[in-house]
Structure 1
Amino acid sequence: MAFYRRLGDIPPKRHTQHRRPDGGLYYEELVGEEGFSTDSSLLYHRHIPSAIVDSQPWEPPDPATVANHPLKPRHLRLHELVPGEEWKALDVVTGRRLLLGNGDVRISYAVAGTTSPLYRNAIGDECVYVESGTARLETAFGTLHAGPGDYLILPRATTHRWVPTGNEPLRALCIEADSHIAPPKRYLSRYGQLLEHAPYCERDLRGPDGPLVVADEGETEVYVKHRGRGPGGISGTVLTSPHHPFDVVGWDGCLYPYAFNISDYEPITGRIHQPPPAHQVFEGHNFVICNFVPRKVDYHPLAIPVPYYHSNVDSDEVLFYCGGDYEARQGSGIGQGSISLHPGGLPHGPQPGAQERSIGVEFFDELAIMIDTFRPLELGAAAGAAAEDPGYAWTWNVEETGGLRR
């Protein structure tokens, strides 16, 4: 998005000499999208950013998926993925567990307690939502401090690492695009400013502190995920640079990682139930990200505040339940740390009895992240029996009295 920032030491004019105290040149790097035709930033390095001394294969966490067949809704309990204190030895990059994916987006979950390797996703942007715990996200642009409720947007090919802080596990939902992730176009002016009807604005976005310049640590490995012939068309390489990549003395531009906390999202409400696009926060190619936050609900005298049943025929719907009590799913087994998948081809909506219970309710205390995809999602390795609730698909099949229909 076209929101200009500037940090550190840069020359007055781009693409001109910028010299070190010893008289040598800093090395200017343009980081830009879509072939020089959209947002970019200029970074000034102490060392040549393209230099490498080694390249070795790396196998990213299992990217293979299988079809959701036979078709059914699913409920995954993410807090069961990492047992005991296993999280202490895991990091947010190599410890990701793939839940769902297609050619446009991959959804993973990480529970981490140790620093990740330096990492660069060369396939697409990443949006990481912090469910709980705290971390320091170190990038070539500087540092972002992350805590519960933070979205971290990382542009494609941003070199970074996750450093958990505190004594609790860092729990994160990782959304990896095959494209860029940005605010919805309808929220933006033709020049890229967030408009008055948008549910957040530039004041709510946190850019990096820095820039982050480290002492010259010599040869440094960077794990790179990129397109290739591996499962899902994904491959990995460990590139070794002769110098640490966090050698940026200054940068400016409109392309950089940033943080946005979900508590700063101002919900759009109405007299009757608002459709999911009213809750949208970001979008990528062939998918959208929405959030359902604590809010005043429908105030028409005959309103039914929970959603109506719907067949969103072009989408698969994923919901990650990360706080409060999600009204429409009461009685289904859904709880904190759950993910539900409602695939296209099946109507979906509130659990039996939820509509009557919601009548007259004025406020929903719920927190959930929704990802709608416009191509079918397949199941990753982490969506197996250890995490899945096998009874979820049948929880709508009840009589009004509450008895299970056979």
Structure 2
Amino acid sequence: MTTDPYQYLEGFHNHHTSEALPDSLPKGQNTPQKCPYNLYAEQLSGTAFTVPRTHNQRSWLYRIRPSVVHEPFSPLQAGTDALLSNFANAHITPNQLRWDPFDLPQDGEEVDFVTGLRTVAGAGDAATRNGLAIHIYHANQNMSKRAFYNADGDFLIVPQHGRLDITTEFGKIMVHPNEICVIQRGIRYSVDLPDGPVRGYILEVFGAHYELPDLGPIGANGLANPRDFVTPQAYYEDADNEEWQMVTKFLGKLFVAKQNHSPFDVVAWHGNYAPYKYDLAKFCVINSVSYDHIDPSIFTVLTCKSDTVGVAIADFVIFPPRWAVQENTFRPPYFHRNCMSEFMGLILGDYEGKTGGFQPGGASLHNIMTPHGPDAAVFQKASTAELQPVRVADGTQAFMFETSLTLSVTEWGLVKCNKVQPDYWKSWRALESQFSATQI
């Protein structure tokens, strides 16, 4: 076994091979009569067997025990009441919404990554594999002898406060704020907290998987480059006679089963269905150098495509530090109504489109065709600023979960979290008429 468990393989959705022991991958076939080291062969399929080869995602795991070795599942009550995977009966509202920073765990509260999940908004239904959910996580406890897998969809995890030390079946990943991590449906993992209490955001998609957006006229390079995504190298634990809990999220409910060994016993693996992380600081910004504020789609890191070309079930978009050099142009985000829903979060700093109220750890939601844009102070400053090249968003990282679906808000997100700002609508009240019938 490697002495440094935090080693990574480079490249987005590449077919990787990884061994924690020499020659532990079978040669020539996936399921030989007898695997090296007397391991079990197990395939983990993220897509149907019969999808086109270019879309097929699966990995072969060679493990000490197959994952089927566990006792029956039973309901886990802790944390389930704040999760949702069917949004037919959630709250609907066309109003602009903004949340104060979501709480870190309170004194006396003991929650790990799984029991600290809270659903804020979503659309569709995990049972039909159509739609998405937006969650907040907060935790102050390690997942000691407890592992988790999500049967409903893929998690795109955005840490905001504190690192996540994630042990997966494929290896170990350390995820910092200003990095993201994607853990696909079915992959088992456990989360420890090396910095103490944590908080962050999650975008869950129920159907297709995340992929890099097409670049079109941009060409071969730019935005998030495939080489900058990293996948863990194989790392295993051989632990007998230890009681572990295996927790699964299944149609928005948590279930737990016991087993007497570590689930992280994969000695070798190969395939293209594996968790990965990405450092947002490596994003290559594409922007205007002449005039006009370009559409925010140029900031797309990952997308989950729908069956309609160019329309996403979900996009993950960031607004990183960059230069603004447009001529004769209003440079902050323009006033806008959109056929997409926009859920924004802030990892650090101050977002350039708002002068206050939008804070790290908080969020906002502008649903389909709900108007939004800069507040009066930002509008006034940008309308009179000297037009010269300026740095934008230094020390800041805002992001957006964008979707073609209309988002409903959960009871927890709208009421129980007690974080909705009732006066958010007043951000635009000072935008008074400046109209003059005489041309200036």
User: 1:378 offset after TM fit, Å?
Assistant: 1.5
Unaligned regions of 5+ residues in structure 1, if any? 189-193, 228-233
Residue in 2 aligned with 1:375? 405
User: Would you say 1:334 and 2:358 are equivalent positions?
Assistant: yes
The 10-residue stretch of structure 1 (367-376 or 381-390) with the greater mean CA deviation from structure 2: 381-390
Matched residue of 1:7: which SS?
A: strand
Q: Identify the match of residue 165 of structure 1 among 194, 197, 213.
A: 194
Q: How far apart, CA to CA, are the structure 2 residues paired with 1:254 and 1:30?
A: 12
| Corresponding residue number in structure 1 for 2:98 | 75
Q: Deviations over 1:39-80 (max 9, x none)?
A: 21110011132233222123434235665545210111134x
**What residue number does 2:112 align with?**
91
Aligned to 1:100: 121
In structure 1, C-alpha distance between the alignment counterparts of 2:281 and 2:241, rounded to whole Å: 39
- Residue of structure 1 equivalent to 2:391: 363
> Does residue 323 of the first structure (1) align with residue 354 of the second (2)?
no
Contact (CA 8 Å) 1:184, 1:282: kept in 2 or not? yes
Residue 144 of structure 1 contacts residue 209 of structure 1 at CA under 8 Å; is this kept in 2?
Answer: no
1:304 to 326, 330, 333: 330
Q: Distance in 2 between matches of 1:46 and 1:220?
A: 16
One-letter code of the match for 1:302?
A: N
Contact 2:83 2:253 (C-alpha < 8 Å) held by counterparts = no
- Is the CA contact (8 Å cut-off) linking 1:153 and 1:181 kept in structure 2? no
- Give the letter for the 1:178 counterpart: F
Q: Give the structure-1-normalised TM-score.
A: 0.87
My pick for the range that moved more, 317-326 or 52-61, is 52-61
Letter in 2 for 1:12: K
Name the residue aligned to 2:320.
Answer: 293
**Alpha-carbon separation, structure 2, partners of 1:86 and 1:13:** 55
Query: Conserved in 2, the CA contact under 8 Å of 1:119 and 1:161?
Result: yes
**Paired residue for 1:4?**
15
SS of 2:425's equivalent? helix
Alpha-carbon distance in structure 2 between the residues aligned to 1:111 and 1:155: 20
Deviation at 1:6, TM superposition (A): 1.7
Report if aligned partners of 1:139, 1:212 keep a CA contact under 8 Å in 2.
no
Partner deviation per Cα, 1:131-190 (whole Å, 9 max, x = no partner): 121221001111001111110100110000110002x422221222212432234159xx
Question: 1:177 — aligned with what?
Answer: 205
Distance 1:57 1:195, change over 3 A: farther
CA distance in 2, matches of 1:221, 1:176: 23
Uncovered stretches (5+) of structure 2, i.e. residues with no partner: 1-11, 125-130, 307-312, 435-440
Question: Structure 1 residues 151-160 or 67-76, which shifts more?
Answer: 67-76
Equivalences for 1:194-205 in 2 at 5 Å?
196-205=220-229
Of all paired residues, the percent bearing the same amino acid is: 22
Runs of 4+ in 1 over 3 A off after TM superposition: 17-21, 64-70, 82-87, 399-402
How many residue pairs get aligned? The number is 382
- Once the two structures are overlaid, the 10-residue window that deviates more, 194-203 or 30-39, is 194-203
Letter in 2 for 1:395: S
> What do you get for the CA RMSD once the two structures are aligned?
2.5
* Contact 2:239–2:261, Cα closer than 8 Å, also in 1: no
Task: Decide whether the 8 Å contact of 2:104 with 2:197 is kept in 1.
Answer: no
Q: 1:61 to 1:260 in 2, by over 3 A?
A: farther
Preserved contact between residue 76 and residue 383 of structure 1 (Cα < 8 Å): no
Which residue type is aligned with residue 383 of structure 1?
Answer: L
Equivalent residue in structure 2 for 1:395, among 392, 402, 427: 427
Question: How far did residue 28 of structure 1 move?
Answer: 0.8
Q: Secondary structure at the match of 1:220?
A: strand
Between the aligned partners of 1:84 and 1:169, the Cα distance in structure 2 is 10
Residue pairs, 1:6-405, within 5 angstroms:
6-8=17-19, 9-15=24-30, 16-21=32-37, 25-36=38-49, 37=51, 38-59=56-77, 60-64=80-84, 67-79=90-102, 81-82=103-104, 84-85=106-107, 89-103=110-124, 104-116=131-143, 117-166=146-195, 168-187=196-215, 196-227=220-251, 234-271=252-289, 272-284=292-304, 285=306, 286-297=313-324, 299-312=325-338, 314-331=339-356, 333-358=357-382, 359=385, 360=387, 362-365=390-393, 366-380=396-410, 381-384=412-415, 386-400=418-432
The 3 A distance-change label for structure 1 pair 353 and 199 is same
Instruction: Report if aligned partners of 1:287, 1:374 keep a CA contact under 8 Å in 2.
Output: yes
Partner of 2:227, secondary structure, is: helix
* Structure 2 residue identity aligned to 1:394: K
- Preserved CA contact (<8 Å) 1:118 1:161: yes
Contact 1:7–1:251 (CA under 8 A) maintained in structure 2: yes
Query: Per-residue deviation at 1:400?
Result: 4.5
User: Which sits farther off after the overlay, 51-60 or 37-46?
Assistant: 51-60
Q: Could you give the per-residue CA deviations for residues 229-255 of structure 1, whole angstroms, max 9, x where no partner exists?
A: xxxxx3332133353221111001111
Give the Cα separation in 2 of the matches to 1:178 and 1:102.
Answer: 10
SS at 1:54 equivalent: coil
3-state SS of the aligned residue for 2:405?
Answer: coil
CA contact (8 A) 2:350 2:358 kept: no
**Cα offset, 1:324, TM superposition:** 2.2
Q: Does the 8 Å CA contact 2:151/2:250 hold for their aligned counterparts? A: yes
SS of the aligned residue for 2:187 comes to: coil
**Secondary structure in structure 2 of the residue aligned to 1:102:** strand
- Distance in 1 separating the partners of 2:392 and 2:73: 52
